[in-house]
Amino acid sequence: MLEAGQLAFFWATLPHQVVQVQEQTRFHWLTIPFSSFLQWRLPPAFMQRVLRCECLVGPGEVALLQSQFQQWRTDLWGQTDEQNQIVLLEVEACVRRLALTLTADSGTHSSEPLQAMEPHLLSKIDQMTCFIAEHYVEPLHTEDIAEAAHLHPNYAMSLFRKHVGMSMLDYITRYRLAHAQRLLITTDANVATIALAAGFGSVSRFYSIFKASCGLLPGEYRSGLRLPD
């Protein structure tokens, strides 16, 4: 639950939707390209929390946030490179402030911090993550992903883990779980159909992974979160 003036930041692979708002509520939604998120070199602890699908919420001043989002909307409608660059810089500053606040509040550090992103490697990470986003419901192999970035598979796996903070398999699994969660919430399809539609090779494996990740079986998850008709 978000209060007025709060700023929430999360990875879009996490299933999300607005389920209830008070009357006359106004909220703003901004999607940041994943490549920009990586390029900003945010604090490793913050990046890992985002990549592990946490929804990070920080305080904000209502009038200031309202003004900022309205200005970003105006600038993006202008559709010029200069206006787009201004928005990206201001959004980066906003996210950095959020990361600084949350890092200071938590006082914790990851035991396996992400390494800083080298500029010449950004396109390789971006190519691999984009390829996964486009093909995760299909059978995927390390060789396929590495080829998309013109890399040797062993180097691609090492590079991916170093800069994304998880293995390719874990990353793909999170996409597939998010897809399955969306289908469980928004459709009446049976679990077997959803498992295959989300890219899992077998229903039994889907049950096992879903239970380990969510702490519930798919049917229990649906019953608990499915919106009433």
Q: Are the C-beta atoms of residues 172 and 180 closer than 8 Å to each other?
A: no
Residue partners of 52: CB distance under 8 A and separation at least 6: 165, 166
In angstroms, the Cα distances linking 177 to 89, 189, 208 are 32, 15, 11
In angstroms, the Cα distances linking 204 to 11, 118, 191, 211, 217 are 27, 40, 10, 11, 11
Per-residue pLDDT at 218: 93
Per-residue pLDDT at 121: 64
The pair of structure tokens assigned to 118 is 């080298």
Q: How far apart are CA 164 and CA 180, in angstroms?
A: 22
Burial 58-89 (b: 16+ CB within 10 A, else e): bebeeeebeebbeebeebeeeeeeeeeebbbe
Per-residue pLDDT at 110: 43
Q: For residue 44, how far is the Cα from the chain centroid? A: 15
Burial class (CB in 10 A: 0-12, 13-18, 19+), 13: buried
3-state secondary structure the chain: CCCCCCEEECCCCCCCCCCCCCCCCCCCCCCCCHHHHHHCCCCHHHHHHHHCCCCEEECCCHHHHHHHHHHHHHHHHHCCHHHHHHHHHHHHHHHHHHHHHHHHHHCCCCCCCCCCCCHHHHHHHHHHHHHHHHHCCCCCCHHHHHHHCCCCHHHHHHHHHHHHCCCHHHHHHHHHHHHHHHHHHHCCCCHHHHHHHCCCCCHHHHHHHHHHHHCCCHHHHHHHHCCCC
Would you state the CATH architecture of domain 171-225? Orthogonal Bundle (1.10)
Q: Are the C-beta atoms of residues 56 and 46 closer than 8 Å to each other?
A: yes
Every domain of the chain and the residues it spans:
7-106, 119-165, 171-225
Per-residue pLDDT at 109: 43
Q: Are the C-beta atoms of residues 218 and 206 closer than 8 Å to each other?
A: yes
Give, for all 229 residues of the chain, the pLDDT tens digit: 777 777 888 877 665 666 677 777 777 888 887 767 777 878 877 877 787 777 888 876 667 777 888 898 898 888 888 998 898 899 899 888 888 888 765 544 444 444 554 555 667 888 898 899 889 999 999 999 999 999 999 999 999 988 777 899 999 998 899 889 888 888 899 999 999 999 998 999 999 999 998 888 999 988 876 544 4
